[in-house]
């Protein structure tokens, strides 16, 4: 009987299609080559739109899976468990008693000279948590049909987020592949992993610590994969800058202060994790992290320095100790230097019409649940570099078929859910995310206000008439453009024309700058947006960016984006958490812009305010409401009532104050809420009394800026309010 063909995963020894591949190949044939590639493009487009970070995906996804039979996976499962137990034992020894070094089983020069051996983590006793809690192995099938380990991953574990995401996306894009059923679900494994993390954290905070972006094959870190993992597990994604060490423990900087962190899934290199003890890059790590791990107040998967046993030079020495340390012969042999030449081939959908046959490896994942190593019934398959294979092939989903016998999934009993602690709305939101959402709200409002001003300005500046009213309108528009930053002060004069405005905008491109800032903040805030929300916002952004070079089409498209964003915030975000800061940013920016712009448009005696009043009503998008209420007859009283004091008009200054006060009340900022309440009363008094509008509106805009600074200091920088010495205090201090 001939053995399994080493060259083709889809064929058996007689050259016939293997049963596990037949449904896949038949489904792809029924779909057709052209449609298959369109579906693959849709799969990767969906990944890009739903990406929870503003970095491009390091890899593409290939819709063709890499299936394994139940018997094949059983062999791999036992081998991965043994391999993980072996490497865990070696790590505990090298960072503890070091008997393997003293006995000569491992060369001290290779261990102590490796950059991943972190001396600050060498302790006499074991850490409170195992040094190796997550493990991944890259495995190939060799010509005799057996499996061999090509590479171990014991430091940062790359690809787990992709493994938990790829199947969910592929199910919606290529449902034909899954109609036959018979696959082991990843959901029980994911739930068991999450339960284990919560149990180990003992009800404390669990988070994924992410660093800089990198390719998935990089032993460092992949920020895109970190974000996918955090979303798949339903835990926080945080950065080193979100953390601080206080009293020997690690805390996350939140709006309510410092929140103790119990467990981190590490996406940052151990070398860079603690710059204070390890000499890592300043600003890249968390000073004091090593001390928290040694003290047992922080669990980390995996502990810094665990990448030591990935070293290629140590592999033969560790493999030789497999039977002695695990009690059985090695279930999986190590692959040699001719790894890629031995690896079996599988079909990939390339960029051309023809299918690409490329060598690949299975990457399987395991975690220690406190009693035994559990292996995820799936994973990802990665193409290996080969001269005849084009670059850019995608990751595959590893399928594990169900066996004939019923399979009962069990593990440690579920952890009791942590007791819920009552806290203020958004109190446990990381201050970095709150800051990003606050400025996202401000940036979107700033973009919309600039767009509305240009839509009012361009037709009037291009009219070319010289009537007194037209000249007065152009002068007011020119001042508003200068005040908003759309024009430099030297260009904002009464001689401004439509042609000069277009030339200046084309040269300075202020709208493009505002749009770029909005896109940056959308990416920075994406952790608080659901995949559907993020996809909708990014699609609207893409349309806006494509229309931006066409001036005629760009302004309506910009307004369409602003409306889409406002609708997403209103209908999809719960009224706590990040929404409060997004709303505060929008209301502060709209209120400040309203006060500053109305101060220009309504400047002057009542008999000369008609041009400004008409512009103000149009710019504030209140033309229809004003016509219905007042038959279009412009008068200072009704205009001020609608744009300043109307609590039901979302473009009125009073509306912004009410919304801002409600947010501050919910966040427990009673003093700032009282300040806004007093400001609202001043707005109502101004609308009823009239008088000199410009100076009083300018004062209101300045007070809104002060409130913004107080919000920034209270929630984001977490600094006490600056104290100003009175004159008598200065004299006493001098004496």
Give the helix, strand, coil percentages of the chain, each rounded to 5: 55, 15, 35
Cα–Cα dist 377/381, whole Å: 13
- Burial of residue 28 (number of CB atoms within 10 Å: 0-12, 13-18, 19+): buried
pLDDT at site 618: 92
Closest CA to 62 of 88, 46, 86, 40: 40
- Burial per residue of 153-184, b for 16 or more beta-carbon CB atoms within 10 angstroms, e otherwise: bbbbbbbbbbbbbbbebbeebbeebbeeeebb
Cα–Cα dist 492/481, whole Å: 7
Task: State pLDDT tens for residues 469-490.
Answer: 888 888 899 899 988 888 887 7
Least confident segment among 238-242, 351-355, 359-363: 351-355
Cis peptide before 302 (omega within 30 of 0): yes
Q: Which residue has the tokens 């003293």?
A: 102
The CA distances from residue 504 to 447, 482, 486, 497, in Å, are 17, 12, 9, 11
Q: What is the mean pLDDT of residues 302-321?
A: 94
Task: Supply φ then ψ for residue 379, to 5 degrees.
Answer: 160, -150
The gap from C-alpha 93 to its chain's centroid, in whole angstroms, comes to 37
The CA distances from residue 423 to 22, 562, 668, in Å, are 55, 32, 10
Task: State pLDDT tens for residues 692-727.
Answer: 788 999 999 999 999 999 988 888 775 444 444 344
Per-residue pLDDT band for 371 (boundaries 50, 70, 90) equals confident
Cα–Cα dist 584/575, whole Å: 12
Cα–Cα dist 493/505, whole Å: 15
CB neighbours of 136 closer than 8 A, spacing ≥ 6? 152, 153, 157, 158, 159, 160, 363, 364, 365, 366, 379
The CA distances from residue 732 to 177, 414, 722, 724, in Å, are 82, 65, 19, 14
Q: What is the mean pLDDT of residues 341-365?
A: 87
Per-residue pLDDT band for 217 (boundaries 50, 70, 90) equals very low
The CA distances from residue 620 to 564, 584, 644, in Å, are 18, 19, 11
Q: What is the mean pLDDT of residues 516-521?
A: 93
Query: pLDDT over 90 for what percent of the chain?
Result: 50
- Does the pLDDT of residue 212 top 80, yes or no? no
Helix (H) or strand (E) run with residue 420 in it? none
Per-residue pLDDT band for 464 (boundaries 50, 70, 90) equals low
Task: State pLDDT tens for residues 9-64.
Answer: 988 878 889 999 999 999 988 998 888 888 888 888 877 765 565 555 556 899 99
The CA distances from residue 524 to 52, 406, 558, 708, in Å, are 9, 46, 21, 20
Instruction: Return left, alpha or beta for 189; rule: phi > 0 is left, psi -120 to 50 is alpha, else beta.
Output: alpha
DSSP classification of residue 178: G
Tell me the DSSP string of 299-354. EEESPTTGGGGG-GGGHHHHHHTHHHHHSS--SSEEP-TTHHHHS-EEEEE-SSSS
The gap from C-alpha 612 to its chain's centroid, in whole angstroms, comes to 44
Task: State pLDDT tens for residues 64-76.
Answer: 999 999 999 999 9
List, in sequence order, every residue forming a beta bridge with 263; answer none if it has no partner.
206, 299
Task: Give alpha helix (H) positions in 208-302.
Answer: 223-233, 270-273, 275-278, 289-295
What residue ranges do the domains of the chain occupy? 78-159+184-376, 426-573, 587-735
Q: What is the pTM of this model?
A: 0.79
pLDDT at site 14: 80
- Burial per residue of 654-678, b for 16 or more beta-carbon CB atoms within 10 angstroms, e otherwise: bbbbbbbbbbbbbbbbeebbebbee
Q: What is the mean pLDDT of residues 408-431?
A: 54
Cα–Cα dist 323/83, whole Å: 11
Q: What is the mean pLDDT of residues 434-447?
A: 94
Closest CA to 440 of 544, 560, 526: 526
CB neighbours of 718 closer than 8 A, spacing ≥ 6? 253, 257, 431
Per-residue pLDDT band for 406 (boundaries 50, 70, 90) equals very low
Q: What is the mean pLDDT of residues 568-597?
A: 91
Query: Which structure tokens are listed for 79?
Result: 């081998």
The CA distances from residue 31 to 37, 354, 355, 453, 496, in Å, are 10, 15, 14, 51, 60
- Does the pLDDT of residue 552 top 70, yes or no? no
Cα–Cα dist 417/203, whole Å: 7
> With contact defined as beta carbons under 8 Å apart, do 343 and 359 qualify?
yes
- The count of residues in the chain is 735
Q: Which residue has the tokens 């990767």?
A: 44
pLDDT averaged over every residue in the chain:
85
pLDDT at site 409: 47
Cα within 13 Å of Cα(508), Cβ side: 14
pLDDT at site 410: 47
């Amino acid at each position: 009987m001939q053995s399994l063909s080493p060259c083709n995963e889809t064929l058996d020894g007689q050259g016939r299609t293997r049963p596990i591949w037949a449904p896949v190949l038949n489904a792809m044939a029924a779909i057709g080559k052209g449609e298959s590639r369109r579906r693959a493009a849709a799969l990767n487009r969906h990944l890009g739109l739903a990406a929870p970070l503003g970095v491009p995906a390091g890899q593409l996804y290939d819709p063709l899976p890499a299936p394994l039979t139940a018997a094949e996976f059983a062999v791999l499962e036992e081998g991965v468990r043994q391999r993980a137990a072996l490497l865990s034992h070696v790590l505990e020894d090298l960072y503890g008693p070091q008997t393997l070094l003293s006995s000569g089983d491992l060369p001290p020069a290779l261990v102590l000279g490796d950059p991943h051996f972190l001396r600050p983590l060498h302790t006499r006793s074991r850490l409170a948590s195992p040094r190796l809690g997550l493990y991944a192995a890259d495995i190939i099938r060799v010509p005799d049909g057996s499996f061999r380990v090509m590479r171990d991953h014991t430091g940062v574990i790359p690809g787990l987020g992709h493994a938990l995401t790829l199947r969910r996306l592929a199910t919606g894009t290529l449902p034909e592949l899954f109609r036959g059923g018979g696959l082991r679900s990843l959901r029980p494994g994911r739930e068991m992993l999450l339960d284990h993390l919560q149990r180990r954290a003992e009800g404390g905070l669990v988070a994924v610590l992410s660093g800089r972006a990198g390719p998935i094959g990089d032993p460092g870190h992949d920020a895109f994969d970190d974000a996918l993992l955090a979303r798949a597990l339903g835990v926080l994604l945080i950065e080193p800058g979100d953390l601080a060490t206080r009293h020997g423990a690690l805390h996350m900087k939140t709006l309510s202060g410092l929140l103790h962190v119990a467990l981190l899934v590490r996406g940052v290199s151990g070398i860079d994790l603690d710059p204070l003890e390890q000499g890592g890059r300043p600003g890249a790590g968390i000073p004091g992290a090593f001390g928290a791990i040694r003290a047992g107040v922080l669990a980390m998967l995996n502990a810094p320095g665990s990448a030591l046993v990935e070293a290629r030079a140590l592999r033969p020495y560790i493999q030789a100790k497999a039977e002695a340390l695990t009690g059985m012969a090695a279930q999986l042999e190590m692959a040699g230097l001719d790894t890629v030449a031995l690896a079996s081939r599988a079909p990939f959908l390339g960029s051309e019409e023809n299918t690409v046959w490329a060598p690949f490896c299975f990457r399987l994942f395991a975690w220690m649940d406190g009693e035994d190593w559990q292996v995820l019934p799936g994973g990802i398959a990665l193409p290996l570099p080969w001269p005849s294979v084009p670059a850019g092939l995608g990751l595959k989903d590893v399928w594990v078929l169900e066996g004939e016998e019923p399979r009962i999934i069990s593990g440690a009993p579920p952890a009791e859910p942590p007791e819920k602690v009552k806290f203020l709305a958004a109190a446990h939101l990381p201050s970095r995310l709150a800051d990003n959402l606050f400025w996202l709200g401000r940036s979107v409002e700033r973009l919309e206000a600039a767009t509305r001003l240009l839509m009012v300005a361009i037709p009037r500046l291009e009219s070319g008439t010289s009537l007194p009213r037209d000249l007065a309108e152009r002068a007011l528009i020119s001042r508003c453009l200068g005040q908003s930053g759309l024009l430099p002060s030297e260009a904002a004069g009464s001689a401004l024309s439509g042609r000069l405005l277009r030339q200046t905008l084309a040269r300075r491109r202020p709208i493009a700058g505002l749009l770029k800032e909005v896109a940056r903040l959308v990416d920075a805030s994406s952790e608080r947006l659901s995949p559907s929300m993020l996809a909708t916002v990014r699609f609207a952004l893409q349309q806006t960016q494509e229309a931006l070079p066409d001036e005629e089409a760009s302004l309506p498209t910009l307004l369409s984006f602003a409306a889409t964003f406002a609708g997403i915030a209103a209908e999809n975000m719960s009224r706590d958490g990040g929404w409060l800061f997004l709303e505060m940013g929008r209301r502060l920016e709209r209120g400040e812009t309203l006060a500053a712009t109305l101060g220009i448009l309504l400047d002057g005696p009542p008999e000369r305010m008609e041009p400004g009043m008409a512009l103000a009503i149009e710019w504030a998008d209140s033309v229809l409401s004003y016509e219905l209420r007042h038959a279009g007859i412009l008068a200072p009283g009704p205009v001020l009532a609608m744009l300043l004091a109307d609590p039901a008009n979302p473009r009125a200054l009073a509306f912004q104050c009410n919304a801002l006060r409600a947010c501050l009340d919910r966040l427990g900022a009673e003093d700032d809420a009282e300040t806004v309440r007093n400001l609202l009363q001043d707005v109502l008094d101004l609308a009823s009394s009239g008088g000199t509008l410009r100076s009083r509106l300018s004062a209101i805009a300045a007070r809104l800026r002060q409130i913004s600074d107080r919000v920034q200091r209270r929630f984001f920088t977490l600094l006490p309010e600056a104290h100003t010495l009175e004159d008598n205090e200065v004299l006493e201090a001098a004496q």
